[in-house]
Amino acid sequence: MKARIVASLLALCTTTVWAIGKADITYLPGLQFQTNFDTYSGYLNANANGTWQMHYMLTESRSNPATDPLLVWFNGGPGCSSYVGLFEELGPFYVNFDGQTLYENIYAWNTKANVLYLESPIGVGFSYDTERDSYSTANDDQTASQNYMALKDFFNRVQPQYLNRTFFLSGESYAGVYIPMLSKLLVQGINSNDFPNHKFQGAAIGNGFMHVQHLMNSIVLWSAFHGRVQLDDWDRIKVVCKTGTETDVERYDFTQFMVSPNGMDFYGDNTTECGRLIEPLITRDGFNGYDFDSYNYYQDCYQSSYDIPSDAKRRTERGRRRRRMTEPMDTAMLYTSRMRGEISKVESISGTIATQFQTADFRFLIYNGDVDTACNYLGDSWFMRDVAKDNNLKGGDRIPWFFSENNQVAGFVQRYSGKSGKGVNLSMDVMTVKGAGHMVPNDRPGPSVQMITNFMFPQNNGVNYTSTANTNPQPDFSPLLPQSASGFKMIAVILTMLMMELM
């Protein structure tokens, strides 16, 4: 009897495939809810001769796909698949713990946008080189070129209905390099009429890796002010880490006492007293080998029962350790410290950002989960202040913004605005998302969709991040597919029978 019950339970847990509409993707294995949007997938030519094939997925808007803007998403790494964003952060499909079924993210970013996910660069995920079996390296310039060509192919050949649609770029982490470099190419292509869609209106970067020196200097301060150093050591740091004639510890250049094997991962220089003192503040192992999650400081770090190398635990491209993704997916994540040394990167993209502001009306959003240490809000805020100064943008007051489900403070935002030398309107919003780590859409799903939707739909007086004019703070779940609904009822019955049998 027990064997029959267990066998029946397993059979009912197998998901039936259901069509979700007339689209390139007519079904998703394990889908458990009815969708009211179409999903597309395929390949884009990422070079002129089509030998580089970039894989994409497109989830159309739940509101008005014919008029809502296009939002392009990149995960970071470099080398992390954007499907991490799709299935774990901002996409409408979340993976259940069973690894077999998909449940609904009611705060998906396709609430009022058509969201395009690109697996970039070539060699990531399903993107491939037709002439080489294993293609795994790409410098930043090459990645920007691949992304430019892929988007050009998307508008011209693959989805021409978006040719005249307003579009934005978005992404997180190392997308803080991808997006400004791609933006520069887009502006150049628009000016020369090489790029077909001229309605590029903005970009949003979450917890961006944009300026190495600022990020490394700020993490020392961030760590000290979050209780990671005893006061006597902090007093000593202020003495032995002093650089030049600076008397303000916030202006010290701590990177002079750090070493790096690859320009991305930094350690204290143990030949100096300062380096030894700041080592526990800048490494991901914490004190005396005790782990903390560098992507979400307040998230508990538990190692799973499966074997993960100790260094892999500290440098996964994740905002938290325990999420909705399955353990097999977790072990397959790209551990960024293991591959970054092979990739040619830029350390600062301030000149690139400035370039795109010279040609068209443009708005920029830099948002940071305020408990991410890896790409922390302080370093990114310093960098954007430098960019604003270089472009003669005036900073406004730093004010709270609210998530309107319960009118609670969702973070803080400061706007820099002005005009370029050509009279172009420019704005940059520098924002924190309260309580979020590296992966803001997962940690704070409701505030994140309110944030990005308001960014794309400014009101008469500009972007108002507290507005609910285009979002529902309490969205309803979609109906379950018939098989899922009946299956769940039957599973409950069988589980009850099983418990009675075991008693």
**SS3 for 269?**
coil
Enumerate helices (H) and strands (E) in the chain, giving the number of each. 14, 16
Locate 95 and state its tokens: 């993976």
Nearest to 266 by CA among 214, 203, 342, 188: 214
Question: What is the SS3 assignment for 471?
Answer: coil
Nearest residue to 60 (alpha-carbon basis) of 84, 86, 89, 38: 38
Catalytic residue among 294, 438, 443, 484: 438
Tokens describing residue 136:
């795994």
* Closest residue by Cα to residue 38 from 15, 11, 57, 51: 57
Cβ atoms within 10 A of the Cβ of 52, count?
27
Question: Is 372 one of the annotated active-site residues of the chain?
Answer: yes
Per-residue CA distances from 120 to 66, 67, 244, 258 (Å): 26, 27, 42, 31
3-state secondary structure of 231: helix
User: How big is the CA angle at 184 (ends 178 and 185), to the nearest 5 degrees?
Assistant: 90
Nearest to 365 by CA among 448, 276, 455: 455
CA distance 288 to 282: 13
Q: For this structure, is 173 an active site residue? A: yes
Angle, to 10 degrees, between the axis of helix 231-240 and the axis of helix 212-224? 150
State the catalytic residue, choosing from 145, 173, 427, 484: 173
Contact at 8 Å (CB) between 301 and 293? Answer: yes
Between CA 355 and CA 109 the distance in angstroms is 28
**Is-contact 419 425, C-beta < 8 A?**
yes
Cβ(170)–Cβ(201) below 8 Å: no
Q: Is 29 exposed, middle or buried (0-12, 13-18, 19+ CB in 10 A)?
A: exposed
> Is 304 known to be catalytic?
no
E-strand stretches of 260-407: 267-268, 362-369, 394-395, 399-403
Sign of CA pseudo-dihedral 403, 294, 430, 456: negative
Token reading at 246: 């600076």
Tokens of 97: 């713990």
Catalytic residue annotation: 173, 372, 438
